[in-house]
C-alpha cells in the first residue's frame, strides 16, 4: 500500500486533524525511532471522540470522570490507528509531536526530538483489533522507506516503569519487522 507524502510531511492516505500540540524538531534532527503507543478514552472504551478531543485540546472535563484528571494535558502523536484500521495524522512527520514525555532510548533522552509516535486505539487489558495490524504494518513500511529509522519500540521501552503501552495484549509478532 503506497502512502504518498506531501512535501510538508503529511501522508495523503491519512485523515488530517492537526493538533496544536507540536513544535519544531531541533535543527538537523532526523527521525531515527518509531514509538508505538496505545490509548483509549475513556479508559478501555473505543470508538468515541475522546482521543481526537485530547489531541486537539477540546476534551470536556465533564464528559467523563477520568477526563477531569487529564483534560489540561497538552499531548499529541503523529498518527492514530483506530480499531477499524482508519489512519489519522495529527502532526506532520517533519515536526515534533508531544507523545513520549520523559523518555530515553540507548542513552539519548527526549525521544520526541528524533521519533515518530503512533497511537493505536487500545489498552493493556483487551486485544487489539485485527484491522489495526495491517494498517500499522503498512504505515511502518512507508515510514521506514522515508526515514532512517533505526528502531521501532513500545512506549514502555523508552519510559520503563512509567509507561506500559502498547501493553501485553499487543502482538508484536503480527508485524513484518523485527522489534528492536
Angle at 40 between CA 10 and CA 32, to 5 degrees: 40
Cβ(35)–Cβ(96) below 8 Å? no
DSSP assignment, residue 174? Answer: G
From 24, 45, 119, 121, active-site residue: 119
Cβ(118)–Cβ(125) below 8 Å? no
**For residue 165, what are the contacts with CB-CB under 8 A and spacing of at least 6?**
36, 37, 38, 39, 124, 154, 155, 156
Cβ(37)–Cβ(132) below 8 Å? no
> Residue 151's CB: how many other CB atoms inside 10 A?
17
DSSP 95-114: EEES-S-S-EETTEE-GGGG
- Residue 119 is a catalytic residue: yes
Catalytic residues: 119
Amino acid at each position: 500500500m503506497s502512502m504518498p507524502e506531501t512535501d510538508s510531511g503529511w501522508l495523503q492516505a491519512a485523515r488530517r486533524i492537526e493538533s496544536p500540540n507540536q513544535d519544531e524538531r531541533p535543527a538537523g534532527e532526523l527521525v531515527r525511532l518509531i514509538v508505538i503507543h496505545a490509548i483509549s478514552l475513556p479508559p478501555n472504551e473505543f470508538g468515541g471522540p475522546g482521543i481526537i478531543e485530547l489531541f486537539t485540546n477540546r476534551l470536556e472535563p465533564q464528559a467523563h470522570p477520568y477526563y477531569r484528571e487529564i483534560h489540561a494535558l497538552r499531548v499529541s502523536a503523529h498518527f492514530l490507528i483506530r480499531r477499524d484500521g482508519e489512519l489519522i495524522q495529527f502532526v506532520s512527520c517533519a515536526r515534533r509531536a508531544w507523545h513520549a514525555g520523559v523518555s530515553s532510548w540507548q542513552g539519548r533522552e527526549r525521544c520526541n526530538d528524533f521519533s515518530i509516535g503512533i497511537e493505536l486505539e487500545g489498552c493493556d487489558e483487551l486485544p487489539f483489533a485485527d484491522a489495526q495490524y495491517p494498517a500499522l504494518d503498512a504505515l511502518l513500511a512507508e515510514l521506514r522507506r522515508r526515514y532512517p529509522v533505526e528502531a521501532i519500540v513500545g512506549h514502555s521501552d523508552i519510559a520503563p516503569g512509567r509507561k506500559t503501552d502498547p501493553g501485553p495484549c499487543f502482538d508484536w509478532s503480527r508485524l513484518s519487522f523485527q522489534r528492536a
